[in-house]
Amino acid sequence: RQCPNLRTCWPGLGATFNPFTSSSRALTLRRTAFVATLSLRLVHNLLTAFFFSSSDLLSWGLPSALLSVLFFFFLAWNLHLVVDMEGSRTVLGRSWTRDAFDAALWGFVVVHVILLGMDFMAWGVLGGMPGYFIWACTDLTIFLTAWVACWDED
Residue-wise pLDDT for 116-139, tens only, equals 888 877 766 555 555 777 888 899
- Which residues are paired to 91 by β-bridges? 94
Each residue's pLDDT tens digit, 92-125 = 888 888 899 999 999 999 999 998 888 877 766 5
Each residue's pLDDT tens digit, 74-86 = 898 889 888 888 8
Hey, what amino acid is at 76? A
- Tell me, what's the pLDDT at 39? 93
- Alpha helices for 1-154 (secondary structure H): 13-16, 25-53, 61-83, 98-120, 132-149
- Tell me, what's the pLDDT at 130? 57
Q: What average pLDDT does range 24-30 have in this prediction?
A: 85
- Tell me, what's the pLDDT at 127? 52
Q: Among residues of the chain, what percentage have pLDDT more than 70?
A: 75
Domain boundaries, the chain: 30-149
- Tell me, what's the pLDDT at 123? 66
- Tell me, what's the pLDDT at 1? 45
Least confident piece of the model among 32-36, 60-64, 122-126, 147-151: 122-126
What is the pairing mode between strands 94-96 and 89-91?
antiparallel
CB-CB neighbours of 100 under 10 Å: 15
The H-or-E segment that residue 90 falls in is strand 89-91
Residue 10 has pLDDT above 70, yes or no: no
